[in-house]
Amino acid sequence: MANTLAETLTDSGLIWRNGVPLRNLCHWKIGGPADYVIEPRSAEEAAAAQRIAREANVPFLVIGHGSNMLFDDAGYRGVIIKLGSRMSRCRFSGSRVRAEAGIWAPMLARACAGRGLTGLEHIVGIPGNLGGLLYMNGGSLRQSIGDAVVCVDILDGQGNIAAVSAAECDFSYRHSVFQEKKSIVLGVELELQQGTPGEVRRKMLDILRERREKFPLDLPNCGSVFSNEPRLYEAYGPPGMVIEQTGLKGARIGDAELSVRHANFIVNRGRASSADVFALIRHVRRKVLERTGFLLHCEVCYAAPDGRCGRLDAFL
């Protein structure tokens, strides 16, 4: 099977590699080898990669920059379709921008700032790509990328390329319909507002300054591990504060540590394993549940070696 798939990929003209260490494809710097990694250069190549994986009857997973992903130490027995810099074009028309899924979020934010377009300042410090942001409806400062969406270009489960409206995306806090439907996000059209380049850049500089002061940006991490649930927030505050008040700030299992700078970040102190991260998350959830009666939910996704993938909660 492996040789057949390798031959098919070679004949396809796609850019691909085998035996790729997944720790090199994610921000946590954790993960064993993936059997195959394909890097499409267009929506059509993404469709071809999906079709080849399906016809070979092997699992496949679409990733961006891996900023919100935990890979397993055993790796991934299937095909990773990586949407990155090879699919990162964008174009502007008035207050609207169309961008491909692989564009780096800070790069898109800065491109908009250069044209005086406001509405994406909150993503300037998020170390991920646009496709991942749309999948998670990510953002910061209590804002979400979905707020600016007009429509999203997708590759559906049947291999068809289509556009879905913002309403069809079912955006809510850190959620989109793509988490259930398993469609591949290829690109997006966004509606922004006109401001001035100087004003937008000043907002971005303030956001970046606050992130540098607040977050442990010097060690591998995936950003916020636990989501900000409204009922928990009203009763006790945001997850980082709750974890700190539970006395867990700085807690460590193996080389996975709750950051001493921000307790909702788990950092890799050197050689953390996926097992270390799982154990630390279980420990935090148990302690917070005992103290507050609330069970923390993860923002982070996990890819199992057998091809299963989803919110990490489902694997605890």
Residues 239 and 225 reside in one and the same domain:
yes
**Last residue within a domain, chosen from 67, 82, 97:** 82
> Where do runs of H (alpha helix) occur along 13-164?
43-55, 105-114, 130-136
What is residue 1's predicted lDDT score, i.e. its pLDDT? 45
206 occurs within a structural domain: no
Residues 111 and 167 reside in one and the same domain:
yes
Mind telling me the catalytic residues?
A: 174, 224, 299
Task: Look up the domain containing 249 and give its range.
Answer: 216-315
Predicted confidence pLDDT, tens digits, the chain (316 residues): 455 899 999 999 999 999 999 999 999 999 999 999 999 999 999 999 999 999 999 999 999 999 999 999 999 999 999 999 999 999 999 999 999 999 999 999 999 999 999 999 999 999 999 999 999 999 987 799 999 999 999 999 889 999 999 999 999 988 999 998 879 999 999 999 999 999 999 999 999 999 999 999 899 999 999 998 889 999 999 999 999 999 999 999 999 999 999 999 999 999 999 999 999 999 999 999 999 999 999 999 999 999 999 999 999 9
CATH code of 52's domain:
3.30.43.10
Residues 247 and 304 reside in one and the same domain:
yes
Report the run of H or E that residue 184 belongs to, with start and end.
strand 184-191
> Where do runs of H (alpha helix) occur along 115-265?
130-136, 178-181, 197-214, 230-235, 239-245
249 occurs within a structural domain: yes
208 occurs within a structural domain: no
Q: For the chain, give the number of residues.
A: 316
36 occurs within a structural domain: yes
What is residue 240's predicted lDDT score, i.e. its pLDDT? 97
203 occurs within a structural domain: no
Q: Is 19 exposed, middle or buried (0-12, 13-18, 19+ CB in 10 A)?
A: exposed
Pairing status of strand 76-82 against strand 60-63? parallel
Residues 181 and 99 reside in one and the same domain:
yes
211 occurs within a structural domain: no
Residues 183 and 100 reside in one and the same domain:
yes
What is residue 141's predicted lDDT score, i.e. its pLDDT? 73
Domain count, the chain: 3
What is residue 62's predicted lDDT score, i.e. its pLDDT? 96
Residues 90 and 188 reside in one and the same domain:
yes
Residues 42 and 103 reside in one and the same domain:
no
CATH code of 268's domain:
3.90.78.10
Place of tokens 């469709």: 47
Q: What's the predicted TM-score (pTM) here? A: 0.93
CATH code of 135's domain:
3.30.465.10
Residues 97 and 189 reside in one and the same domain:
yes
Q: In what order do the strands lie in the sheet with 252-253?
A: 221-224, 265-268, 256-258, 252-253
Residues 78 and 141 reside in one and the same domain:
no
Residues 49 and 75 reside in one and the same domain:
yes
Residues 126 and 29 reside in one and the same domain:
no
**Last residue within a domain, chosen from 41, 62, 82:** 82
Residues 61 and 90 reside in one and the same domain:
no
What is residue 3's predicted lDDT score, i.e. its pLDDT? 59
